[in-house]
Amino acid sequence: MLDYVDDLRPGLGIHVGGSRRPSEDAAAFRVVDPATGNLITLVADGSAADARSAVDAAAAAFPGWAGTAPRARSEVLHQAFELMLAEIDELAALIAWENGKSLSDARAEVRYAAEFFRWFAEEAVRPDGAYGVSPAGGSRTVVTSRPVGVAALVTPWNFPAAMATRKIGPALAAGCTVVLKPAAETPLTALAVARILDQAGAPAGVVNVVPTSRPADVVTTWLEDPRVRKLSFTGSTGVGKHLLAQAADRVVNSSMELGGNAPFVVAADADIEAAVAGAMIAKFRNGGQACTAANRFYVHEAVHDVFVAAFGAAVEALAVGPGLDAGTAVGPMISDRAVRTITGLVDDALAAGATVAHRSAAPADAGHFYPPTVLVDVPADAPLLREEIFGPVAPVVTWRDEDELLRQVNDTEHGLAAYVFSGDLRWALKLAERIDAGMVGVNRGVVSDPAAPFGGVRESGLGREGAREGIRAFCETQYFSVDWA
Ligand code: NAD
């Protein structure tokens, strides 16, 4: 693993215009292993000047890249897909090291991340367009789409590869060039992805990465630069609102993938084994640190006890430890602060009458670990049910009446994902239609799919990533009105 980071060493800097260098003010920041707190490496700490030079490179590369044949852009993305899979072992270990997730979750992330390159390699050669006849017949309308321009991409630490490729893939397919700011916790994966894109043939300046511990300096510089025409952000709702307000100043086209508070509904006629399997994925993938993570479980009173017993047995069997250890199912949380936030939410719920029904063991000596936990009897107004837990804690609530269930399910300012388990597909779909969420897993604990439009309603975001929608987010519509007299 160290060899792979060593190979990246020239890339442990500002990746601009096809080459890597230290930051302009020679500052560096620490990247640490969340399983031990030990230093992994120092990384160049991008400044406002570095942010500007990244836009210089992206703006210089834009006309050439936008004018490239779609097939040529597609081939670069396809090659990047192949290279990511060829390096899956090294990439997965790097993700597990800097993010903490288990190797199996990290391998799944690499495959998922690479799929965005393949999907958008295929979409790149299918540009939108239309030809129309005006109602009076006096003109013809030719509708086309063109790349929006230099795109600023800002990504979180929880899926350091996939959140980058979900934006870079469609941006490059559309003909945009990009400047990317990864989260300070996980810059190494983004640098590895940039190196892969270079190797895949992306011309210098098409993909630029500015790691930094000073996110506001870098992103503000981008949003103030008139050459930047797109902001694509994934992260917390609070930071997203702040950046949206900044982007409004220059009316920058903005896409927002923000926080969630997903309900997980189990009906009386659900297949309990399938519901438990779905709950394990929806709750414990990535240690619960996913925007789509099931945040609150609503289980019909008729099956509550049997569901909690089976779910609890599966939770108690989870192996918690360093992500890089073979056999680990749940790794550490990203930081000590994250552990304190989760502890606070659980302690509040316990003080208000909730009880711990099941809990697994977790290392206590070093690292930011929190034991996977199932809570029952959680009061309806507990912050645990209202805030994004972002950790391996499953609060279970019983339900009886469908209208009251829906009221509680929709009683949130978020609306990203939801899950419904029932033996009656029509009932499940009818319920799903009444849930205010962008994505509903029906008898499935996963909604993420490069071929499906990922995104939320309300304060969970604006726009969609993946699918056909993903590429449109990086395009502007233009039409030609042609005289036909
Ligand atoms: P975060 O909002 O703290 O950080 C996200 C990114 O914004 C990071 O790159 C960070 O450095 C940057 N940032 C932070 N403050 C900034 C500022 N003032 N100016 C400019 N940039 C700034 O979120 P996080 O803790 O990295 O990620 C967890 C959050 O992301 C959760 O809320 C989760 O639900 C959300 N998320 C959403 C999706 C989705 O697709 N909807 C996917 C993954 C994560």
Please tell me the predicted confidence (pLDDT) of residue 171: 98
Fold: same for 1-258+460-480 and 262-442: no
Asked whether 212 lines ligand 1 (CB < 6 A), one says no
Length of the chain: 485
- Tell me: the pLDDT tens digits for 316-370? 999 999 999 999 999 999 999 999 999 999 999 999 999 999 999 999 888 999 9
- Tell me: the pLDDT tens digits for 256-280? 999 999 999 999 999 999 999 999 9
Neighbours of 226 (CB within 10 A): 11
Q: Using alpha carbons, select from 466, 411, 48 the residue that is nearest to residue 234.
A: 466
Residue with the two structure tokens 């072992």: 89
Of the two residues 11 and 240, the one the predictor is more confident about is: 240
Residue 384 has pLDDT above 70, yes or no: yes
Please tell me the predicted confidence (pLDDT) of residue 398: 97
Please tell me the predicted confidence (pLDDT) of residue 231: 98
Question: 407 Cβ partners below 8 Å, 6+ apart?
Answer: none
Identified catalytic residue from 87, 257, 388, 465: 257
Cα–Cα distance, 44 to 357 (Å, whole number): 46
239, 414, 446, 454: residue to mutate for ligand 1 pocket, most atoms within 8 A of CB: 239
Q: Is the dihedral of CA 112, 312, 309, 342 positive or negative?
A: negative
Distance 237 CA to ligand 1 centre (A): 8
For the chain, give the mean pLDDT: 96
Please tell me the predicted confidence (pLDDT) of residue 72: 98
Query: pLDDT band at residue 9, thresholds of 50, 70 and 90?
Result: low
What DSSP string describes 172-186? Answer: HHHT--EEEE--TT-
Please tell me the predicted confidence (pLDDT) of residue 11: 55
Cα–Cα distance, 165 to 173 (Å, whole number): 11
Distance 320 CA to ligand 1 centre (A): 25
Question: 35 Cβ partners below 8 Å, 6+ apart?
Answer: 100, 321, 322, 323, 324, 331, 332, 366, 367, 368
The answer to whether 387 is a known catalytic residue is no
pTM to 2 decimal places: 0.97
Q: What number is the ipTM of this complex?
A: 0.97
Share of the chain above pLDDT 90, in %: 96
Please tell me the predicted confidence (pLDDT) of residue 12: 83
Query: pLDDT band at residue 168, thresholds of 50, 70 and 90?
Result: very high
Looking at ligand 1, which atom is closest to the CA of residue 155? 9
Asked whether 222 lines ligand 1 (CB < 6 A), one says no
Task: For residue 485, give Cα distances in angstroms to 132, 139, 140, 266.
Answer: 15, 7, 10, 63
Overall CATH class of domain 262-442: alpha beta
Domain positions in the chain: 1-258+460-480, 262-442
CATH architecture for residues 1-258+460-480: 3-Layer(aba) Sandwich (3.40)
HSE (side-chain half, CA atoms, 13 Å) at 298: 25
Taking CA atoms only, the protein residue closest to ligand 1 atom 13 is 215
Distance 259 CA to ligand 1 centre (A): 8
